Amino acid sequence: MRVFVTGASGHIGSALIPELLAAGHQVVGLARSDAAAAAVAERGAEAHRGDATDPDSFLDAVAAADGVVHLAYDHSFTDMAAAAAADLRTVRAIGERLAGTGKPLVATSGTLLLAFGSDGALGFEHDTRPGGSRIDVENAVVAMAAEGVRGSVVRLAPLVHSDLDHHGFAPIMIRIAREKGVAAYVGDGTNRWPAVNTRDAARLYRLALESAPGGTRLHAVEGEGVPLRTIAETIAQRLGIPAVSIEPEQADEHFGFLGPLVQLDNPTSAEATRKLLDWKPEHPDLIADLEAGHYFRTQD
Ligand X SMILES: NC(=O)c1ccc[n+]([C@@H]2O[C@H](COP(=O)([O-])OP(=O)(O)OC[C@H]3O[C@@H](n4cnc5c(N)ncnc54)[C@H](OP(=O)(O)O)[C@@H]3O)[C@@H](O)[C@H]2O)c1
Sites of contact with ligand X (CB under 6 A): 6-7, 9-13, 30, 32-33, 36, 51-53, 71-75, 108, 110, 156, 158-160, 168-169
Give the other-Cβ count within 10 Å of 280's Cβ: 10
Among residues 9 and 191, whose Cβ is nearest to ligand X?
9
Q: What are phi and psi of 246, to 5 degrees?
A: -120, 160
DSSP string, 216-267: EEEEE-SSS-EEHHHHHHHHHHHHT--EEEE-GGGHHHHHGGGTTGGG----
Among residues 177 and 220, whose Cβ is nearest to ligand X?
220
Q: CB–CB of 254/243 below 8 Å?
A: no
Residue 291 Cβ, how far from ligand X at the closest point, in Å?
19
Residue 260 Cβ, how far from ligand X at the closest point, in Å?
15
Among residues 182 and 202, whose Cβ is nearest to ligand X?
202
**Nearest residue to ligand X on Cβ basis:** 10
Q: CB–CB of 149/212 below 8 Å?
A: no
Residue 247 Cβ, how far from ligand X at the closest point, in Å?
26
Residue 199 Cβ, how far from ligand X at the closest point, in Å?
13
Residue 146 Cβ, how far from ligand X at the closest point, in Å?
24
The H or E element spanning position 29 is strand 26-31
How is residue 122 annotated by DSSP? Answer: P
Q: CB–CB of 259/172 below 8 Å?
A: no
**51 vs 59: CA distance, rounded Å:** 10
Residue 195 Cβ, how far from ligand X at the closest point, in Å?
9
Q: CB–CB of 279/202 below 8 Å?
A: no
Among residues 71 and 144, whose Cβ is nearest to ligand X?
71
Q: CB–CB of 100/147 below 8 Å?
A: yes
**185 vs 238: CA distance, rounded Å:** 16
Residue 242 Cβ, how far from ligand X at the closest point, in Å?
26
DSSP string, 67-82: EEEE-------S-HHH
